[in-house]
């Protein structure tokens, strides 16, 4: 088996023209019975990844959340941390996020220096991630917390150059995010520009609320679609969006 199985699975998506669906869970917003229910829905829908993370982490049950999910599902769990403290050795991998769209040194390297010993000791698979926040039409938590302006929604060129820089810096993947609950998700034209000019896996999320948008994003070149907020409101969307994402592979 690959020494970095999760990273390999993401790279394989692009080379095999497959699309994946990731459900994002914020431990602050789910109880343990709810996470068990989500695990069952994810299993039924053949969800590809569970992303776990939140901007704040007010509650202390990150480990418990992941352990409960793992007791009910074999779906890989990847940490999507909002802060350096959000590390759990029960996950399979961690997005080591560098906010390359921002100009806050703390989120480019500072927090990484602080968390490096803890991350190393966790034994987690580390996925170096070029994290790009794009204006989603609402003041999202990530923009506020990061003290960074997002990339303007219609500036595909800036997004493309940022993505190219991330790739050339050696990031393993790109995560382009309009922010949780964004009013305007990432445009298909921005996804198309980035996907057709970079070769590393492209993860897209923020404000995706329906299967049609997920499908169109895949067609535009996203390799992984992430949905959190909409699923919190309507867990039945898990199956609908998973089907749309996987269908986009079939009709390549």
Contact residues toward ligand 1GP (CB under 6 A) are 24, 177, 180-182, 205-208, 226-230
Choose between 97 and 200: whose C-beta lies nearer to ligand 1GP. 97
Least distance CB 13 / ligand 1GP (angstroms): 17
Q: Which residue lies nearer to ligand 1GP by CB, 91 or 230?
A: 230
Q: Which is nearer to ligand 1GP, 135 or 177 (CB)?
A: 177
Between 207 and 211, CB nearer to ligand 1GP? 207
Q: Which residues contact 233 (CB under 8 A, 6 or more apart)?
A: none
Query: Residue 173 is inside which H or E element, if any?
Result: strand 173-177
Q: For tokens 């996950």, what's the residue?
A: 91
Residue nearer to ligand 1GP on the CB measure, 120 or 137:
137
Q: Which residues contact 53 (CB under 8 A, 6 or more apart)?
A: 24, 26, 27, 79, 80, 81, 82, 86
Q: Give the shortest CB-25-to-ligand 1GP separation in angstroms.
A: 10
Are 212 and 241 spatial neighbours (Cβ–Cβ below 8 Å)?
no
* Nearest distance in Å: CB 248, ligand 1GP: 18
Q: How far is the CB of 86 from ligand 1GP (least distance, A)?
A: 13
Name the residue with the smallest CB distance to ligand 1GP: 205
The total of other beta-carbon atoms located within 10 Å of residue 42's CB is: 26
Tokens of 197: 């000019």
- Angstrom distance (rounded) from CA 79 to CA 89: 10
Q: How far is the CB of 40 from ligand 1GP (least distance, A)?
A: 20
């Amino acid at each position: 088996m690959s020494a970095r199985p999760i990273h390999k699975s993401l790279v394989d998506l692009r080379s095999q023209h497959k699309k994946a669906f990731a459900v994002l869970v914020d431990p602050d917003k789910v109880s343990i019975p709810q996470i068990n229910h989500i695990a069952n829905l994810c299993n039924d829908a053949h969800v590809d990844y569970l992303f776990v993370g939140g901007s704040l982490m007010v509650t202390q049950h990150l480990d418990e959340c992941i352990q409960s999910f793992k007791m009910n599902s074999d779906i890989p769990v990847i940490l999507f941390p909002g802060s350096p403290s959000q590390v759990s050795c029960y996950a399979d991998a961690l997005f080591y996020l560098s906010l390359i769209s921002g100009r806050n040194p703390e989120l480019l390297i500072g927090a990484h220096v602080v968390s490096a010993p803890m991350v190393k000791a966790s034994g987690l698979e580390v996925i170096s991630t070029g994290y790009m926040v794009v204006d989603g039409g609402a003041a999202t938590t990530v923009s506020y917390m990061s003290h960074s302006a997002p990339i303007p929604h219609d500036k595909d060129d800036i997004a493309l150059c940022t993505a190219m820089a991330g790739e050339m810096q050696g990031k393993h993947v790109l995560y382009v995010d309009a922010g949780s609950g964004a009013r305007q998700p990432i445009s298909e034209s921005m996804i198309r520009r980035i996907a057709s000019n970079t070769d590393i896996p492209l993860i897209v999320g923020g404000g995706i609320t329906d299967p049609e948008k997920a499908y169109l994003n895949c067609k535009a070149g996203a390799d992984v679609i992430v949905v959190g907020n909409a699923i919190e409101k309507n867990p039945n969307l898990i199956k609908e969006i998973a089907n749309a994402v996987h269908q986009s592979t079939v009709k390549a």
